[in-house]
Structure 1
Amino acid sequence: MLRKFFPLDKNYVLEEAQLSLQNSLLQYLVDYVKVEYLLRFNALGLMDETAEKIQQHSGSDYMQLQEFYMNLAGVYRFKHYSDNQLEFIFDGRDPMEKYMEEWPATFRQWVKEFCRHEQFIRAILELTVFYPEDYTPQMAGLRLSTFITKFFELKIDSQKGIVKVKVA
């Protein structure tokens, strides 16, 4: 990747922190979605085929969610650190420490808010628990991209980057 700014630019440090936390945060996302689905759609705890499959799922390869995670990481950098100036932290902490605390807290809060939407829960389960071998994840990926656009009122454009939009 071509680095256009200073090596200690806060966006590069933040991105590095986000990448280092990717696996644990995606695991949190999937676990939270599974619990939320079972609480909302199977409140009595009846064991049907769907509930059993969700409870027995123990995968840790979330390659299908990497693009979604990277988009959320970009949205976070855009919303919270859109200026790419060098930052001085006056409490003595290393910037990496600060970002390793802030990003997971925000990610977890977003996951809780996202889980209020049934289409989000279904898309995540479709890409993880119910992911068939011969499945092309484009539709679920598109639903997640559309979800990000509507939720944050931001469009992720391959040419322009992240752009604010007004969603009806």
Structure 2
Amino acid sequence: MIQKYFPLDKNYILEKAQLDQQEELITYLIQFSKEFYLSQYNPLGIVDGTIKSIQSHETQYTDRLEEFYRNLAAVYRFKFGQNQLEFLFDGDDHYTKYVQDWAGTFKKWLVSFCMKPNFLRAVLELTVFYPEGKKAELAENRMKTFINQHFELKIYKYRGIVRKLA
């Protein structure tokens, strides 16, 4: 993968921090989505086939959500990234600060994402119900469309991220 930042750009450190947390945060995303679904859509705890599937699901793979995670990380760099390192007076290095900032923002965003039924449905389809073929592609596309609509951006494979014009 070719990186197109300036040398000594803060975004190199930020991107490394995001990629190093990928597995951990995707696993968190899956667990949080399942718990959120159970608490919001099954508050009485009635157990049927769907609920049994969600409760018995063990997260063993995260590959179906990697593209979503990387797109979300890119949006974060686009919105909050700068090319100049800031002065840190608390003794932490920049990598540690970016790990904490990204994880905190990711978890905060996740709460608002889960309020949207389409997001929850797509996460559960890609993980718990793990469809094959067209359904998986539709869920992956739904995740990308969700990012585009939520942040009012358009993500292009080769052109990068562009703000939507009103």
Question: TM tier, shorter chain?
Answer: over 0.9
- Give 1:135's aligned residue: 133
* TM-score, structure 2 as length reference: 0.92
Unaligned residue ranges in structure 1 (runs of 5+): none
The number of residue pairs the alignment matches comes to: 164
- Give 1:124's aligned residue: 123
Letter paired with 1:89:
L
2:17·2:99 contact (CA, 8 Å) conserved in 1?
A: yes
Give 3-state SS (helix, strand or coil) of 1:44's partner.
coil
- Distance apart, 1:10 and its partner CA: 1.1
Unaligned residue ranges in structure 2 (runs of 5+): none
What CA deviation, in whole Å up to 9, does each residue of 1:1-33 have, x standing for no partner?
Answer: 334532x42101111110111111111111111
What CA deviation, in whole Å up to 9, does each residue of 1:124-162 have, x standing for no partner?
Answer: 000000003x33421111111110011000110123211
* TM-score, structure 1 as length reference: 0.91
1:53-132 maps to which residues of 2 (within 5 A)? 53-81=53-81, 83-132=82-131
For residues 36 and 49 of structure 1, the distance between their equivalents in structure 2, rounded to whole angstroms, comes to: 18
What CA deviation, in whole Å up to 9, does each residue of 1:85-111 have, x standing for no partner?
Answer: 344433332100100110000000000
The 1:92–1:31 alpha-carbon spacing in structure 2 relative to 1, beyond 3 Å, is: same
1:126·1:140 contact (CA, 8 Å) conserved in 2?
A: yes
Letter paired with 2:90:
D
Name the % identity.
Answer: 49
Letter paired with 1:25:
L
Pair 1:158-2:157 in alignment: yes
What RMSD, in angstroms, separates the aligned Cα atoms of the two structures?
1.5
- Give 1:30's aligned residue: 30
Give 4+ residue runs of structure 1 displaced > 6 Å after superposition: none
The 1:94–1:63 alpha-carbon spacing in structure 2 relative to 1, beyond 3 Å, is: same
